[in-house]
Structure formats: C-alpha cells, structure tokens
Amino acid sequence: MFATYLIGLREGLEATLVVSILVAFLVKSQRRDRLPQVWAGVGAAVALSVIFGSLIQYTSTSLLRTSESREFFEAVTSVAAVVFVTWMIFWMRKAARSIAGELRGKLTEALAVGSLAVAGMAFLAVVREGLETALIFYAAAESVAGGTGAGSLLALIGGIVTAVVIGFGLYRSALKINLSRFFTWTGALLILVAAGILKYGVHDFQEAGVLPGLNDQAFDISATLDPNAWYGALLAGMFNITAAPTVLELVAWVAYAVPVLVLFLRKPAQPPKPAAQPVQPVESAQPVEPAQPVESAQPVESAQPVESAQAESAPADAAAVPSPRA
C-alpha cells in the first residue's frame, strides 16, 4: 500500500502546486472573480479522472470474460503506466523551474478570452495528473496482493490528502520544503515502483501466453526472503521484489531500473558558458587624405577688345560749294 500512497502523494502534490500557482496569480492580479472558474475546471478534471479509473476497473472485472484477456489487459495497462511514470518524472525535473511562468502566461491569455477559457485552462492543467494517477494506481494496486481493494484506495486517498495539506502550507508560506530535493527522492522511488509494475506486466504477458518462460525461474530465495515476513511484504508491496521471479521478469526489472535511475540521478549537464571573446581594439579610422587642391581654372582669356568700328570720319573740310558769280 505504500506504493499507492507514494503515487497519490507525488501526483497529488504536482496537481496541488499547479492549482496553487493559478490561484496565487489570480489573487495577486486582483482577479478573484475568476476563482470559481478555476475551481470548476479543477472539479471537472477530478471527476473525469475518477470516471476514467472506474472505467478501467469495470473493463477488467466485468467486460473481460476470460482470465487470459484480463491478464493481457492488466499487462498492457502496466506497460502504459510505466511509460507515463517515466515521462512524468523526467518532465517534472526539466519543467520544474519554468512551470510557474508558463502557467501564468497561459492564464493571462485565458483571462483575455473569457471565463470559459479560464475553466478550460485549469481543467487541462489538472486532468493530466488525474488521468496518470488513475492509470498508475490501477497498475500499481494490481501488482500487489489485494489489488484495487479498500486498503489500496485508502492509501491513494491518504497520499492525495497529504499532498493537499503540503500544498496549502506552501501556498500560505507556512512550510518551507526543498521541492527540487523532494521530487528527486520521490522520483527515484517511483522509478523503483515502475520497475516493479513492469515486472508484473511481464508476468501477466507470460500468463496470457504472449511471452514464454512462465516456469523458468531465475532463482528462488524463499528461505532468505520470506514473503510472509514484514520485510518481504514491504519489498513486494513497494517494488514488486519477489523471492522467485522468472528470468524475463528479472531481466525486465534490471533493464529498466538501472539505466533509468542512472539517467534520472545524473545531474543535468550545464550549458557551456560562452568563452569570453577578447575585445578587439577599435581600429582608428584611416586618416582621410586631404583633398587634392582643385586646379585653378585656367584664366579666362580676356575677350579681345572689340575693335571699334572704324567710323569713317567725315572729311574735315567740307567741299565748298562754289557760290554763283554775281
């Protein structure tokens, strides 16, 4: 039951953080009138998640008639749950620092559209966590004794309630939790839980006749790991570690758990800092060559003096007209 409690705690805290970011943004933006739309979207997401989980359970118990079909269905849901768990923990590690800014940006856009957009944005932000929780809970609960009984369901609800309390404390700043360390440790534990779910899925495939080797045991340490002892039940309930696994179960558990844990716990490579470029001295501008002196225009030859028209000077002595003789 601890595995289902851990699933409820982890997924519930992610959803609680998303809701608290949306609520805090609206309160600080003086848009409390949009809070009912946010809670409506959250409620619709929770309702759809419950319906989805009930549909999975109903399909397994009522729609599937033969044991082989039920085993095959449980195997498929187990593999799907492992895929979702793996994607979720790596996505959260990558997006933890930027998720608040992205949510605020989307909510700002939704506020500009209208109340229906605000409710839809809150619904989409929470429904992913809810659907993942329903699928992973079913797969994890079926992989341990008791299945999706009252004990497993109460453990899941207990994890979700704990997550809500923690989220409310963080919202009120009453709690100071290193969320990065929290998600790292819970992510590592969930990887081991997912390895156990995958191991159980392989076993279901073997029982359904899809995979061979149902009777090929890798080892049997029942004398050392008593399945009826508290520690044997704890290991089986948390990580599906059993005393007599088949060869394919053991290969699947190790092949998933070891490389995924190494990749998850390895510190992400920091982007290389660009090398400081030496400051190139600014080349002084080349001295501008003085303009060549403009050759003075050739002196315009003075116009030749216009020769004054030779005025035909009249004869100084006018011809005397002979006077008539008296």
What's the DSSP call for residue 63?
A: I
Give per-residue burial for 246-277: e unless 16+ CB within 10 Å, then b.
Answer: bebbbebbeebbeebeeebeeeeeeeeeeeee
Give 40's pLDDT tier (boundaries 50, 70, 90): very high
Taking the alpha carbons at both ends of the chain, their separation in whole angstroms is 178
State which amino acid sits at residue 22.
L
Task: Answer yes or no: is pLDDT of 230 > 80.
Answer: no
Task: Answer yes or no: is pLDDT of 161 > 70.
Answer: yes
Query: Greater confidence, 302 or 1?
Result: 1
Half-sphere exposure of residue 80: CA atoms within 13 angstroms, side-chain side: 16
Q: Which neighbouring-strand residues pair with 246?
A: 217
Tokens read off for 230: 């508290």
- Mean pLDDT value across residues 164-174: 82
Give 134's pLDDT tier (boundaries 50, 70, 90): confident
Q: What size, in residues, is the chain?
A: 326
Question: Is residue 2 a contact partner of residue 156, using CB atoms and an 8 Å limit?
Answer: no
For residue 279, what pLDDT is reported? 52
For residue 324, what pLDDT is reported? 39
Task: Answer yes or no: is pLDDT of 236 > 70.
Answer: yes
**DSSP H helix total and E strand total for the chain:** 9, 0
Query: Greater confidence, 99 or 79?
Result: 79
Give 325's pLDDT tier (boundaries 50, 70, 90): very low
Tens of pLDDT along 248-298? 999 999 999 999 999 998 876 555 555 555 555 555 445 545 555 545 445
For residue 226, what pLDDT is reported? 81
Half-sphere exposure of residue 244: CA atoms within 13 angstroms, side-chain side: 9
Which of 35-44, 82-91, 231-240, 308-317 has the lowest average pLDDT? Answer: 308-317
Task: Answer yes or no: is pLDDT of 315 > 50.
Answer: no
pTM of full prediction above 0.75: no
Give per-residue burial for 19-39: e unless 16+ CB within 10 Å, then b.
Answer: bbbbbebbeeeeeeebeebbe
- Mean pLDDT value across residues 16-21: 86
State which amino acid sits at residue 236.
A
For residue 144, what pLDDT is reported? 62
For residue 316, what pLDDT is reported? 42
For residue 174, what pLDDT is reported? 66
Question: Reduced to 3 states, what is the DSSP secondary structure of residue 127?
Answer: helix
For residue 322, what pLDDT is reported? 43
For residue 43, what pLDDT is reported? 93
Which of 82-96, 112-126, 307-321 has the lowest average pLDDT? Answer: 307-321
For residue 67, what pLDDT is reported? 84
Tens of pLDDT along 93-128? 777 667 778 878 888 888 888 888 888 888 988 888
Phi, psi of 246 (to 5 degrees): -80, 170
Give per-residue burial for 178-211: e unless 16+ CB within 10 Å, then b.
Answer: eeeeebbebbebbbbbbbbbbbbbbbbbbbbeeb
Task: Answer yes or no: is pLDDT of 317 > 70.
Answer: no
- Mean pLDDT value across residues 48-71: 86
For residue 92, what pLDDT is reported? 81
Separation of alpha carbons 228 and 217, rounded Å: 20
For residue 224, what pLDDT is reported? 85
Query: Greater confidence, 225 or 253?
Result: 253
Question: Residue 165: how many CB atoms within 10 A of its CB?
Answer: 14
Mean pLDDT of the chain: 78
